[in-house]
Structure 1
Amino acid sequence: MSDVSGQEPSWKDWHCYRNPLRVYSPDFDILVSYFNQVYPIIDASDNTERDRFDVCFDNWIKQDDWVKIIHNIEVDLINFSKEEKEFLNTFIDWITDALQHTSVIVVEGNL
């Protein structure tokens, strides 16, 4: 993944992580609330401001926004059931690992 401004990443650039993560409802609904907490963001694909998470299309989220998302989830973990905590911790682990390989993670909306 290129961090060079003005260079458009190709599908291959962002769709090559060795271990893609798929999240289905209702788990996705939990995550969307955390995604929305960091908006507006600057979209990593074209450096334009995005007002909200797009539940129907691609969301190019930069590392600094992921750090905020992870922090917000960790602060709230005490409010979740054991099963939800396990899911959220698995999600955090996946994101943290992925950020060792890239500075942008694309979240595809699933509606």
Structure 2
Amino acid sequence: MARRSKSKIPVLLYQYEGPERNIGFTLSPLYLNEEMHEIRHEDMLFIYDEDFKHIRPAINRAFPLTDPRSGEELQSFDPCWDNPIVKEVWVGMLTELEQVEVAEPELRVFLDSLTTWIRNVLVSADGIEVTGNL
């Protein structure tokens, strides 16, 4: 019997060159009615912490937020846990990320790849959850 290859979470890289499985953040579609949607590894995106620092300021400015599931107020971005961020908040962050002035063309490619991924996810999802592994 042939073995199936395990599906992996895609990785978006800018400068990170270290070993795999290091500290970083997983972005995954947020569905408020989770019974209706299966989230597969290939639907997610992983960004190493070294590269995530380029988008973290935009995310930090979006807080405090209300958790759309629990109604709890999230005071700040939590790098150790899940951060559910609804579509309406992402729209503002996308605008900010697209307007970031960069000196290196590679950083613009990285940011454009990220904003394209986010826009594609938000077509069908209620938001995007950012989960840190610190």
User: TM-score, length-normalised on structure 2?
Assistant: 0.68
Aligned residue pairs total 103
Runs in 1 of length 4+ with deviation above 3 angstroms? none
Stretches of structure 2 that go unaligned for 5 or more consecutive residues are 1-30
Residues of 1 paired with 2:51 and 2:96: CA distance?
16
- Aligned-residue offset at 1:41: 1.0
Larger CA Rg, structure 1 vs 2: 2
The structure in which a higher percent of residues are helix is 1
2:52 is aligned with 1:22? no
Kept after mapping to 2: 8 A contact 1:62/1:105: yes
Aligned to 1:108: 131
Contact 1:44 1:104 in 2 (8 A): no
Contact persistence 1:42–1:49 (CA under 8 A): yes
Unaligned runs of 5+ in 1: 4-8
- One-letter amino acid of the structure 2 residue matched with residue 97 of structure 1: N
1:48-87 to structure 2, matched below 5 A, reads 48-76=72-100, 78-87=101-110
* Percent pairwise identity: 27
Mean alpha-carbon deviation: is it higher for 89-98 or for 25-34?
A: 25-34
Deviations 1:12-62 (A, max 9, x none): 95x605521010021111121110011111112212211111011100000
Once superposed, what is the RMSD of the aligned Cα atoms? 2.0
Distance 1:80 1:45, change over 3 A: farther
Q: How far apart in 2 are the matches of 1:67 and 1:110?
A: 25
CA distance in 1, matches of 2:45, 2:60: 19
Identify the residue that residue 111 of structure 2 maps to in structure 1.
88
Q: TM-score, normalised by structure 1?
A: 0.81
Q: Which amino acid aligns with 1:20?
A: M
Contact 1:40 1:49 in 2 (8 A): yes
Whole-Å Cα distance in 2 between the matches of residues 80 and 47 of structure 1? 40
